[in-house]
């Protein structure tokens, strides 16, 4: 039933449109929202030519402040106009840059209710990004988070805990774990396991490890290459597929070549068929040194894949070692290789872990449950804001 109440207007703000974890969260909030109760708009800060189909198919307007690397007075004025034109009740920020800019301009933006979701560990926000501009942004972000006039949301207990050294009242940060829309995910999978393997030229009996994500320092694909080099199972058919691109793609490609692993590791570049790749794979593989609660991991679980992953971020809250996959220390290439060898040599056990991962994802990580929690936050902030204006 469609509500006759005036809908709560929510603007989602993020740095860029390129499809990733935060964009998946925004998409699923909008797709699973109660009809007629909320009106959404998506605002990107940076100038971009990225595809926006993930927004277009939801029938939601997107706008851009068209900023360069450093915000200019004209781009900030454009942002203020965009926000004031939409007149949001809630401004929901999904990136460090969005948090800083929204907090700085909050009065010019009309003082909407403000939500900031931190999608990664505090060390990623404050320690890992060393460029001069990033250091300034990190300093401003700590100030903004400690003076945030609304609600700061963590996507997992480990993420919340990581902010303890940086944010006062960090323990009051509400948790809203990421969720997956299983129906939508399955609808995106168009081809059978056999078809995908045929298209990739991979034998039906080969064991496929799949990684999906941007090729950045955070993801540590150099560790993946080293782990595969240690795996050394010449009598077995296996391959590690990497779906994604990024600034380190050429470095990773060179590293694969240096280790003579072109027959074991294939860099697939940007793919719009990751659910198909997951259906064709036998194990999801993550070697990151820092993570939040990866949406790609939840999608892999929802599609019945076991996981070999480094125990970073909220991943240990998601993967049960020895039940839904294997966890290893970060950067421990020998441990990662051992875990890969274990699932490679015990495919039946890996399938059992995958089924258990699917059941866990269904019971705990639904997009609908995530959306309802955010909707309640929006309602609470809207009521608080209304009382303040009385």
What's the confidence (pLDDT) of residue 217?
92
Pairwise CA distance, residues 51 & 43, whole Å: 14
User: Is the per-residue pLDDT at 132 higher than 90?
Assistant: no
What's the confidence (pLDDT) of residue 385?
81
pLDDT tens-place string over residues 151-185: 999 999 999 999 999 999 999 999 999 999 999 89
Of the candidates 179, 203, 229, 202, the one whose C-alpha atom is nearest the C-alpha of residue 337 is 229
- CA 336 from centre of chain: 22
Q: Please state which of the four CATH numbers 3.40.50.2000, 3.30.300.30, 3.40.50.11720, 3.40.50.261 is assigned to the domain occupying 8-179+366-389.
A: 3.40.50.2000
DSSP 289-329: SS-SS-HHHHHHHHTT--EEEE--TTHHHH--BTTTEEEE-
Alpha helices in 33-149 (DSSP H): 53-56, 73-86, 96-104, 122-126, 132-146
User: Is the per-residue pLDDT at 22 higher than 70?
Assistant: yes
pLDDT tens-place string over residues 289-334: 999 999 999 999 999 999 999 999 999 999 999 999 999 999 999 9
Cβ(314)–Cβ(292) below 8 Å = yes
pLDDT tens-place string over residues 54-102: 777 788 988 989 887 778 899 999 999 999 999 999 999 999 999 999 9
User: Is the per-residue pLDDT at 2 higher than 90?
Assistant: no
User: Is the per-residue pLDDT at 133 higher than 80?
Assistant: no
Pairwise CA distance, residues 365 & 88, whole Å: 28
SS3 249: helix
pLDDT tens-place string over residues 209-249: 999 999 999 999 999 999 999 998 888 999 999 999 999 99
* pLDDT grade for 51, boundaries at 50, 70 and 90: low
What's the confidence (pLDDT) of residue 190?
85
Q: At what angle do helices 132-146 and 96-104 cross, to 10 degrees?
A: 60
What's the confidence (pLDDT) of residue 304?
98
What's the confidence (pLDDT) of residue 315?
96
In this prediction the pTM is: 0.88
Neighbours of 311 (CB within 10 A): 17
**Mean of per-residue pLDDT scores for the chain:** 92
Pairwise CA distance, residues 178 & 302, whole Å: 13
SS3 196: helix
Distances (CA, A) of 203 to 193, 196, 231, 282: 11, 10, 20, 13
What's the confidence (pLDDT) of residue 390?
44
Of the candidates 38, 45, 95, the one whose C-alpha atom is nearest the C-alpha of residue 292 is 95
Domain boundaries, the chain: 8-179+366-389, 183-364
Rounded to 5°, angle at Cα 328 from 322 and 331: 170
Cβ(216)–Cβ(128) below 8 Å = no
CATH topology of domain 183-364: Rossmann fold (3.40.50)
Q: Round the CA-based radius of gyration of the chain to a whole number and report it.
A: 21
pLDDT tens-place string over residues 90-125: 999 999 999 999 999 999 999 999 999 999 999 988
- CA 203 from centre of chain: 31
Token pair 């080969």 is found at 206
Pairwise CA distance, residues 2 & 4, whole Å: 7
């Amino acid at each position: 039933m469609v509500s006759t109440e005036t809908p709560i207007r929510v603007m989602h703000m993020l740095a860029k449109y390129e499809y990733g974890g935060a964009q998946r969260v925004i998409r699923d909030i909008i797709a699973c929202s109660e009809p007629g109760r909320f009106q959404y708009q998506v605002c990107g800060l940076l100038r971009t030519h990225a595809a926006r189909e993930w927004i277009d198919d939801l029938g939601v307007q997107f706008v851009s402040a068209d900023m360069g690397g450093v915000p200019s007075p004209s781009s900030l004025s454009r942002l203020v106009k965009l926000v004031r034109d939409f007149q949001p009740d809630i401004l929901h920020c999904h990136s460090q840059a969005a948090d800083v800019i929204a907090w700085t301009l909050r009065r010019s933006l009309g003082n909407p209710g403000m939500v900031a979701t931190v999608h990664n560990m505090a060390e990623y926000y404050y320690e890992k990004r060393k460029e001069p501009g990033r250091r300034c942004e990190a300093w401003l972000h700590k100030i903004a988070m400690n003076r945030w006039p609304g609600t700061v949301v963590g996507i997992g207990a480990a993420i919340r805990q990581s902010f303890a050294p940086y944010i006062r009242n960090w323990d009051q940060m509400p948790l809203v774990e990421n969720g997956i829309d299983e129906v939508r995910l399955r609808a995106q999978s168009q081809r059978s396991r056999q078809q995908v393997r045929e298209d990739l030229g991979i034998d039906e009996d080969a064991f496929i490890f799949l990684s999906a994500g941007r090729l950045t320092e955070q993801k540590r694909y150099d560790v993946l290459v080293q782990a595969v080099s240690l795996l050394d199972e010449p009598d077995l058919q296996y391959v590690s597929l990497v779906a994604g691109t990024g600034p380190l793609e050429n470095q990773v490609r060179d590293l694969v070549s240096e280790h003579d692993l072109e027959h074991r590791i294939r860099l697939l570049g940007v793919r719009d068929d990751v659910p198909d790749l997951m259906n064709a794979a036998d194990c999801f593989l993550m070697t990151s040194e820092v993570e939040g609660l990866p949406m790609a991991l939840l999608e892999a679980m929802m599609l019945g894949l076991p996981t070999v992953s480094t125990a970073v971020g909220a991943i240990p809250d998601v993967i049960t070692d020895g039940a839904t996959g294997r966890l290893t220390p970060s950067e421990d290439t020998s441990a990662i290789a051992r875990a890969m060898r274990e699932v490679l040599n015990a495919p039946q056990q890996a399938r059992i872990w995958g089924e258990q991962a699917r059941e866990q994802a269904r019971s705990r990580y639904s997009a609908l449950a995530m959306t309802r929690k955010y909707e309640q936050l929006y309602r609470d902030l809207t009521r608080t804001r209304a009382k303040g204006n009385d």
